[in-house]
Amino acid sequence: MILDVHISGRLVAKLYRERDEYVLKYLPGTELADFVSLTMPVREEPWRWPRDLFPFFRQNLPEGYLLGVIREEFGAMLDGTDLSLLGLVGGTGIGRVSITPEGVQPGIDMDPLEITHMLQAENTAEHFAELVRQYARVAISGVVPKFIAKDASHNQQPLGKPTLRTGFHIIKGSDDNTPFLGFNEFYTMHVLERLNVVPVATCQMSEDGRVLVVDRFDVDEQGIPHYGLEDACGLLGLPPHEKYRPTVEQVWNATRSYMGADRLREQREHLGWHLLTNYVVRNADCHAKNIALYYTSQADVGFTPVYDLVTTQAYPRFAASPPGLSLGGRQTWTPGRSLETFFKSVLSIPPAQYAAMVEQLCQSAVEVGHKVIEASKNEPAWRDVAKHMVHAWNDGMETLRSAKAAPQFRGLDNAIAEAGFSGPRKPESRGEVVGRSELLAKKR
C-alpha cells in the first residue's frame, strides 16, 4: 500500500512500507516550507522508521471508543496495520497534513451538524453513539467518545477540489466512567481561561452537561487546516500508547529545541501555567499527547492553546491516579519544592513569580468553584461531579500553596459547607490513569 501525503491539499510525499521499515519519500521539487514534520524536514534521501509507522503519523490515529466504531463500520477496508487505518481516516484530521490512498484527493464529504441544536438537545448515550458512527471517518486521537464536525450555521462557499476544508469543531461526549464530562471539562478549562495569561481552547458546554464542543485552533475562518501540529509524544519518537512514559523534563527538552530564541520566555511561561493548572484542578491525564506544538512555519513554532483540562479526581475510577507525567523523578500531587525548583532551574521562572502564578490559579479556582456549585443547584444531576470537582480543587490548592499540607489554604471549604456537600467518596482501588490500558506493564 502506498499513501499520498499532502500539505494543505498539496501533494508533497509518498508513504509506504519497504520490508521491515516504513518510508517517507518527498517528491522532487517539494518546497522546504512543505515539510511534513519538524522531525522530518524536506530532503532528497528518504526518511525511514523501523518496524512501526512513524510516530508523527500515529499521533492522530483513533483510539479507544472511536477506534472500535471504525473497526465495526469499516473493517473490510482495514488489513490490521496502522498504515491501512491511516489511509482510511487520514484524509480529514487535525493539522495541515492529510494522508490518502495513492491518487485520492484529501477530504471527505461531511454532513453539516446543527451545533446549536446539539447544545440544546438531550444527548443520550445512544444518540451520541450514532453521531460518532456518522462522523467516524476522521483522524482524531483520544479514548473518550469524540468526533470532528462542521457547523451548519457556517454558510461556506465552494472552494474547489484542490482545497481541503474540514470541521470547525471537535465534539466530545461522556461515557460511563466519566459522566457529565462536558460539565467537568468546561468549568475546569475556565479556571485557566479566565486569567487570560495563555491561549486556551474555546469551548461550549451542552445544556445537559454531557457534551463539550471545542473550537479547533488549527483551521482558519473557512475551516481550512492552517497550522501544523505535533504532540510531544511524537516528537520524542514514542507511539501513542507510551504517552505516560516521558517526564516533564523530557517533554520540555523535546519541544524547546524547535522554538526560536525570541519565543522561549513566553513559551516557558506557557508550559508553566499549563503544569500548575493540572496540579490545582487535579488533572491526572496531562500526558505527552496533551502537550503539543503548532506552527505555520519553522519560524513561529510554539505551544498550542491549552486543551483537555479535566478534573480526573472527580471520578472514582481515576481519583487515585497520580500526575500523568513525572517531575523531578516523582509522580505525586504533593511535589514539595521540586515543582518550584523545576520552574526556577529549567523554566527560568523565579520563586516570587512562581508563587504569584500559584496564587492567581488558586483564586481563579475559588471563583470558578462557586460557579460550579451554583450550576449544580440548578441541575441536580450535576451535583455529584460538582461536589468531587470542588473537593479536588481544594486538595490541589492546599498542596500547592504549602510544602506541607495546610488546611488553612483550602479556599472552597466555606462554599462546600454552605452547599451541603458531603466529603468525597473513597477512590476505587485500581488507581488507573485515564487512557492507560490495564494490559500495559506498570510504569518504570
pLDDT tier at 367 (50, 70, 90 boundaries)? very high
Q: What pLDDT, on the 0 to 100 scale, is given for residue 86? A: 87
Q: How far apart are CA 100 and CA 115, in angstroms?
A: 28
* Inter-residue long-range contacts of 364-368, CB under 8 Å, 24+ positions, other chains counted: 364/191, 364/192, 364/194, 364/195, 365/191, 365/280, 365/281, 365/393, 365/396, 365/397, 365/411, 365/412, 366/397, 366/411, 366/412, 366/415, 367/194, 368/187, 368/190, 368/191, 368/194
Give, in degrees to the nearest 5, the angle at Cα 139 between 27 and 25.
Answer: 15
User: What confidence tens digit (pLDDT) does each residue in 217-259 have?
Assistant: 988 877 778 899 999 999 999 999 999 999 999 999 999 999 9
User: What confidence tens digit (pLDDT) does each residue in 74-126 have?
Assistant: 777 777 788 888 888 888 778 899 998 899 887 655 555 666 666 766 666 66
Q: What pLDDT, on the 0 to 100 scale, is given for residue 113? A: 60
Residue 152 grid cell: 451548519
Least confident of 12-26, 114-128, 390-404: 114-128
Burial class (CB within 10 angstroms; exposed 0-12, middle 13-18, buried 19+) of 24: buried
What average pLDDT score do residues 275-282 get?
98
Q: Is a pLDDT exceeding 70 seen at residue 136?
A: no
Q: Percent of the chain at pLDDT above 90? A: 60
What the chain holds in terms of domains, given with CATH numbers, is 54-173 (no CATH), 231-419 (1.10.1070)
Distances (CA, A) of 6 to 13, 35, 108, 164, 363: 7, 10, 14, 10, 46
Q: What pLDDT, on the 0 to 100 scale, is given for residue 107? A: 64
Residue 404 three-state SS: coil
Q: What is the mean pLDDT of the chain?
A: 85
H or E element that contains 229: strand 228-231
Q: Is a pLDDT exceeding 70 seen at residue 2?
A: yes
pLDDT tier at 181 (50, 70, 90 boundaries)? very high
Residue 160 grid cell: 474547489
Q: What pLDDT, on the 0 to 100 scale, is given for residue 131? A: 62
CA count, 13 A, side-chain hemisphere, 368? 29
Give, in degrees to the nearest 5, the angle at Cα 351 between 346 and 352.
Answer: 140
Q: Which residue has the higher pLDDT, 409 or 228?
A: 228
pLDDT tier at 159 (50, 70, 90 boundaries)? very low
Q: Residue 223 carries which DSSP code?
A: S
CA dihedral 339, 340, 346, 348 (to 10 degrees): 150
Q: What pLDDT, on the 0 to 100 scale, is given for residue 290? A: 95
Q: What pLDDT, on the 0 to 100 scale, is given for residue 296? A: 95
Report pTM.
Answer: 0.85
Residue 2 three-state SS: strand
Q: Is a pLDDT exceeding 70 seen at residue 25?
A: yes
Indicate the angle between helix axes 125-134 and 64-74, nearest 10 degrees: 60
User: What confidence tens digit (pLDDT) does each residue in 296-348 have?
Assistant: 999 999 999 999 999 999 999 999 999 999 999 999 999 989 999 999 999 99
Selection from 16-20, 92-96, 212-216, 370-374 with the highest mean pLDDT: 370-374
